[in-house]
């Protein structure tokens, strides 16, 4: 059941990213789906930390249902989102000029945030990438810490 909880966390994170994309690109109001997905993520983390992994089935059903409802909300933007995933991965992981800075910024979160403020005026594109990776690293570190403490405790 713990594996189901972890899979559900990743699926719920994908749902949050998906509805954040729709929120920025679509003319439809998806704030309900986005807020319920965020609440589902928080409750799933608390459930895993509390040892009640059987509730992860409920969060899994919510995430899968919301991903399916996304096609009904805005089909064109949903297809655009799914077709943009491949090029995003290719552009992110084959950019040899920035991949080192991205990895450093994500692995050492304070360094990425510091690089953003240090290069804000001199190198704005690289500063933005380092800042994003630093913030994503903080978020990822918090989620991993919460998951690990939930598994151990």
Question: How is residue 130 written in tokens?
Answer: 């380092």
Q: What is the mean pLDDT of the chain?
A: 85
Average pLDDT over residues 125-152: 83
Q: In this structure, what are the phi and psi dihedrals at residue 98, rounded to the nearest 5 degrees?
A: -110, -10
Average pLDDT over residues 117-129: 91
Distances (CA, A) of 66 to 28, 32, 81, 83: 15, 10, 15, 19
How far apart (Å, rounded) are the C-alpha atoms in residues 153 and 147? 10
Q: What's the mean pLDDT in 50-69? A: 83
Distance separating alpha carbons of residues 48 and 54, to the nearest angstrom: 9
Q: How much is the pLDDT for 117?
A: 93
Instruction: Work out the pLDDT band at 152, boundaries 50, 70, 90.
Output: low
Which of residues 55 and 13 earns the better pLDDT score? 13
Q: Which residues contact residue 109 at a Cβ distance below 8 angstroms, ignoring those fewer than 6 apart?
A: 134, 135, 137, 138, 141
Q: Where on the phi/psi map is residue 90: left (φ > 0), alpha (ψ -120 to 50), or beta?
A: alpha
* % helix, strand, coil for the chain, step of 5: 85, 0, 15
Can you tell me the mean pLDDT for 48-72? Answer: 83
Please state the φ and ψ torsions of residue 54, each to the nearest 5 degrees. Answer: -65, -20
Per-residue confidence at 145, pLDDT binned at 50, 70, 90?
confident
**Model confidence pLDDT, tens digit, residues 13-50:** 899 999 999 999 888 898 899 899 888 888 887 777 77
Q: What is the pLDDT of residue 53?
A: 65
């Amino acid at each position: 059941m713990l594996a189901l909880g972890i899979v559900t966390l990743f699926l719920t994170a994908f749902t949050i990213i998906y509805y954040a994309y729709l929120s920025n690109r679509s003319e439809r109001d998806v704030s309900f789906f986005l807020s319920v997905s965020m609440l589902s993520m928080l409750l799933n983390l608390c459930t895993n930390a509390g040892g009640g992994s059987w509730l992860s089935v409920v969060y899994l059903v919510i995430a899968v249902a919301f991903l399916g409802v996304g096609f009904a909300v805005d089909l064109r933007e949903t297809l655009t989102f799914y077709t943009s995933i491949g090029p995003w991965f290719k552009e992110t992981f084959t950019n040899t000029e920035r991949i080192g800075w991205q990895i450093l910024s994500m692995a050492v979160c304070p360094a990425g945030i510091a690089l953003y403020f240090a290069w804000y005026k001199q190198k704005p594109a690289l500063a933005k990438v380092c800042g994003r990776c630093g913030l994503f690293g903080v978020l990822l570190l918090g989620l991993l810490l919460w998951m690990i403490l939930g598994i151990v405790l």
